[in-house]
Each structure stands twice: as C-alpha cells, then as structure tokens.
Structure 1
Amino acid sequence: MGVVEELVERVDGRDRVVGVVSRRRAVRKGWLHRVAVTVCRDDRGRILVHRRSERLSRFPGHFEVVVGGAVHVGESYTQAAARELTEELGLRALPRLLFTFVNRSGLSPHWLGVHEAVLPDAVVPDPDEVAWHGWLTGPELRSALREWPFTPDSHEAFSRYLAFGTPRA
C-alpha cells in the first residue's frame, strides 16, 4: 500500500487558491501553499517549546516555538491550527489567528498563519512528532533561541509574534 500524498491548496501572492497539489510537489517547485502554526502559552505566560522527533523528514531534532503544519484542502488556517494542536499535543483548543505572511525562511515559500492559544501546562505530545517539550520563560526562551538549533520557521514566526504586540513571556 502506497503512501497517501498530503494535498494542499496552491495559492498566489494574495493567498487566493489557484489549484490543489501535493505538499511534496509544492515544496519541490517552490509554490506558495498554506501552513498554520500556534504559539502556545500557559496561564503564567510561559511559551511551549518542543524538539522535533528524529524520525521526522523536515528538520529532525530541531527545536520549535510553534506547533503546526500544512493546511489541508478546504481547511481554514484556524481549523488546521486546531487539528495540529490535537494531533501533536493531544489537546482540543481553538487558537486565535493573529496574522498571516509569506514566509520564505523554511524549506520553500509558504503563507504562514500564526495563531496563539493559552493551554494548560499538562500537555501529552505525540512521541512520533515530539521528542521533548518544556515551558520556557521569556529570558529562557531568548537564550534558547540563540543557543539551540531551531527551525527557520520558529525564528521568523516568533519574531513577528513579538512584534505583533502579544503579551510577553
């Protein structure tokens, strides 16, 4: 039985759908498609950071300050972000969309929908996706971003998240 291709909507520079393609092809060809991520905070303002599993094909073992993935065909950014929180952290939550932008710092250019969610600090990550996780204070996170290998999306999304004016950790 073959691997099922993950289908995404190919979009233009204004984030309008122009077709449906496999995510693999969109990445290979450098076509814009949509990705949804969430910055997760707890009620004390700490930010959830996690290390990607070594088994993942994209950036194995790298750290992330966002949880997320590709927006599937017919999904909104927020629906995709909520699905990813359930898949990766085992939580049902409705994240709040803050902003979107064309991110050119990852494997290929894509529209990135950045969300925020306040979560309980007891999360149960999927071990196939997450090798480690922890809640970091603002100073701890700033230090980690300088010292640990983070995904390119993490740096770009988090700097824009802070500039957006959200509560600081």
Structure 2
Amino acid sequence: MDEMDEWVEQVDEHDQVCGVVLRREAVQRGLLHRVAVTLCRDPGGRILVHRRSERASRFPGHYEVVVGGAVAVGESYEAAAVRELAEEFGVRVSVRHVTTFLNQHGLSPHWLGIHEALISVEVEPDHDEVVWHEWLTESELFAFMEQRPFTPDSSEALRQYLAARGDR
C-alpha cells in the first residue's frame, strides 16, 4: 500500500480527532492530521542523518534529520514513532516525547510529534526508503544542512527539538 493511501485521523486546531480520512486526501485538501518523528542520537550525542531514496513519493533524494511518518487511526504519537523507527531503520527502542506543534511546513499542515531516541545498536535501514545514513555532531549537521537539500520538515523539526530542549 502506498503510504499516501493510509487511513489517518483528521484533527482540529487543538489536535482533537474529528474524523478519519486517507492521508492523500488530508494532504491534498490541507486537512490537519498527525505525524510522528524521532530524532536519533548515538551514545556520543551524534545525530542520525539520512538520505531518502530517489524512488520516494515525497521529496526524493532529500536528506532528513528525523525518522517518521503518519500516525495511524487509533495509534498514539509515541507508538507511531516506535513503529516508524523499526520500519525504516530496523531498531526497536523506546522513544521520549520532546514536543508537539502545529507544523506549517512540508506537503500540508499537520500536527508533528517530535521524539528522541538513544540508539546504541547498528541500524539496518530499509534500502527502499533510505539510501545513505551517517551520524553527525550538531556542528557537522548544521554545516551539512547548508550544503544539501533537506525535507522542509527537517529544519523545523530540528529547530523545535532544540528549542524544547533549551539548546537554541
């Protein structure tokens, strides 16, 4: 099934459920829905960065600083973050909620739940989705982001993550 054909909960400006729609419809019509992402750090504090496949339906070949996707009907932000991390990088770890905000960047407006995870095992990316990955320090990441195309969500998610942690 195409990821845009997933059923998602339509939510309002207060992140309260008001219906169920296909993600494709939510994006096309600008209906609010939920997305969960995780910023992954290794024990040394480095951040996982990856490049999307050229076959990706959205932002092919772009880089990302978070791992995630749509929150399914009846699923919590946290459960979606854990599921997406397992699907995309083959790791099952707990995640910690950092912040949730109404994101106006990306394909359409959506509520974005940001989590963080400590990854101390080797990641095994799904090569249909991820064609390259690396662990970068924050300073390396900032320099890297100036030189490469990142998804619109990545910059905003990183900014919100750092602000919620009081880093910037």
Q: TM-score scaled to structure 2, two decimals?
A: 0.95
- Change in 2 beyond 3 A, CA 1:123/1:114: same
Cα separation, 2, equivalents of 1:78 and 1:68: 11
SS at match of 2:58: coil
- Name the residue aligned to 2:46: 46
- Change in 2 beyond 3 A, CA 1:122/1:167: farther
Cα separation, 1, equivalents of 2:31 and 2:76: 19
Consecutive unaligned residues in structure 2, runs of 5 or more: none
Deviation for aligned residue 1:167: 6.9
SS at match of 2:21: strand
The alignment covers a number of residue pairs equal to 167
- Name the residue aligned to 1:124: 124
Consecutive unaligned residues in structure 1, runs of 5 or more: none
SS at match of 1:80: helix
Provide the identity percentage. Answer: 62
CA deviation profile, 1:98-138 (whole Å, cap 9, x unmatched): 11000001100000000000002510100011010000011
- Which residue identity lines up with residue 40 of structure 1 in the other structure? C
Please tell me whether the aligned partners of residues 99 and 160 of structure 2 are also in contact (alpha carbons under 8 angstroms).
no
- Which residue identity lines up with residue 103 of structure 2 in the other structure? N
Matches within 5 A, 1:87-166: 87-120=87-120, 122-165=122-165
Cα separation, 2, equivalents of 1:119 and 1:25: 34
Cα separation, 2, equivalents of 1:50 and 1:121: 16
Please tell me whether the aligned partners of residues 45 and 167 of structure 1 are also in contact (alpha carbons under 8 angstroms).
no
Cα separation, 1, equivalents of 2:2 and 2:103: 27
CA deviation profile, 1:69-92 (whole Å, cap 9, x unmatched): 000000000000000000000000
After superposition, the CA RMSD in angstroms is: 1.6
SS at match of 2:128: coil
Runs of 4+ in 1 over 3 A off after TM superposition: none
- Change in 2 beyond 3 A, CA 1:119/1:146: same
- Change in 2 beyond 3 A, CA 1:3/1:88: closer
Please tell me whether the aligned partners of residues 52 and 62 of structure 2 are also in contact (alpha carbons under 8 angstroms).
yes
Please tell me whether the aligned partners of residues 121 and 135 of structure 1 are also in contact (alpha carbons under 8 angstroms).
no
Q: TM-score scaled to structure 1, two decimals?
A: 0.95
SS at match of 1:78: helix
Cα separation, 2, equivalents of 1:27 and 1:16: 18
